[in-house]
Amino acid sequence: MSEERKGIVYTFLSYAMWGVLPLFWKLLEHVDSMEVLLGRIIWAFIFTLLTIVIIGQKAALFQDLRYLWQHKKQLASLIAASLMIAVNWYIFIYAVNSNQMLETSLGYYINPLISVLFGVLFFKERLSRTQLVAVLIALIGVMIMTINYGQLPWIALVLALSFGIYGVLKKRVVLDALRGLAIETLFTLPIAVIFYLYLFQQGTLSFLHVSLSTDVLLIASGAVTAIPLIFFAKGAQRIPLYLIGFLQYIAPTMMLVLGVVLYKEPFTKVELLAFSFIWLALCIFSLSTLREQHMKKRRIA
């Protein structure tokens, strides 16, 4: 198997895992979303740290920490990124367990367009006329959802914005995916432990107080968080960026299908109209990206 095919397989598996992740969080809907988030941070740190030790990257982890300590701007960016991804994780868990998976799907559909806008704002990247049209069409879809709900689809927007900001911050710090996740969760670990102890003191903690299956699921949340990220890192190293762009729509599509088919969330004609605008925008955006890549290859040739 060629390296590119391996990359496609790894990337496909990562997005497929993220796509079915709501099934896992649904198993924990009897646990408060904040406790699930705190457990996810703690167990993700433990899982990634153990994995790093087992595969012999402990020295590399200390080198990363020393580098960040010597480069304070990058350290600050990574701390901010860790807070952004914690917000993203919490809203995602909350949305899934409050039967709002359609909004979750919408958030990850519009995320690539948010990332394009952030590229223009923060990295002076140029937006083509076609990409601008795509963004405006997506905005119409969001406006339809807003009018239908009577309020902004805040879950979708917070998910897209938090992950977009996370991407901007992470772009300033280049780290191995596994070690990067360990360091990110290390930054939020003290806050998670303090809140966990508070919940324990209040007697509202589910861990070790509900059932063995609940305890196992909370512990497994660490692996569930880390494994897709490791697969994504392996895939992203082997395939071009535009191909990753196409594959990233696997996850929100799976979430949409799960929400409508499995969990019977309402998908009326208005939702269909709004999503149709989003899908049209993504098609235009993807075709524009593919055309640009093709023209670059011709210029190089």
Both tokens assigned to 103: 């909004």
pLDDT bracket for residue 158 (50, 70, 90) = very high
Q: How far apart are CA 274 and CA 43, in angstroms?
A: 38
SS3 call for 266: coil
State pLDDT tens for residues 248-263: 888 999 999 999 999 9
Look up residue 169 and give its amino acid.
L
Segment among 51-55, 131-135, 243-247 with least mean pLDDT: 243-247
What pLDDT shows up at residue 257? 92
Per the model's pLDDT, the better-predicted residue between 74 and 128 turns out to be: 74
pTM comes to: 0.86
Range of the domain at 284: 3-300
Range 124-131 average pLDDT: 76
Residue 237 has pLDDT above 80, yes or no: no
Segment among 55-64, 97-106, 144-153 with least mean pLDDT: 144-153
Residue 181 has pLDDT above 80, yes or no: yes
What pLDDT shows up at residue 35? 94
- Burial of 86-122, coded b for 16+ CB within 10 Å and e otherwise, reads bbbbbbbbbbbbeebbbbbbbbbbbbbbbbbebbeee
Average per-residue pLDDT for the chain: 87
Residue 292 has pLDDT above 80, yes or no: no
CB distance 32 to 268 below 8 Å: no
Sorted by sequence, the CB contacts under 8 Å of residue 265 that are 6+ apart come out as 99, 100, 101, 102, 259
Residue 194 CA neighbour count, 13 Å, CB half: 5
Residue 301 has pLDDT above 60, yes or no: no
Segment among 130-134, 136-140, 193-197, 274-278 with least mean pLDDT: 130-134
The domain total for the chain is 1
Residue 242 has pLDDT above 70, yes or no: no
Query: Computed over its alpha carbons, how large is the radius of gyration of the chain?
Result: 20
Q: What sign results for the dihedral spanned by CA atoms 102, 108, 112, 114? A: positive
Q: How far apart are CA 76 and CA 118, in angstroms?
A: 19
Both tokens assigned to 184: 């990110």
State pLDDT tens for residues 15-68: 999 999 999 999 999 999 999 999 999 999 999 999 999 999 999 999 999 999
State pLDDT tens for residues 104-122: 998 888 887 787 778 777 7
Both tokens assigned to 257: 């299908």
What pLDDT shows up at residue 192? 94
From residue 4, alpha-carbon distances to 14, 122, 124, 233 in Å are: 15, 31, 30, 13
What pLDDT shows up at residue 293? 67
Segment among 43-47, 205-209, 232-236 with least mean pLDDT: 232-236
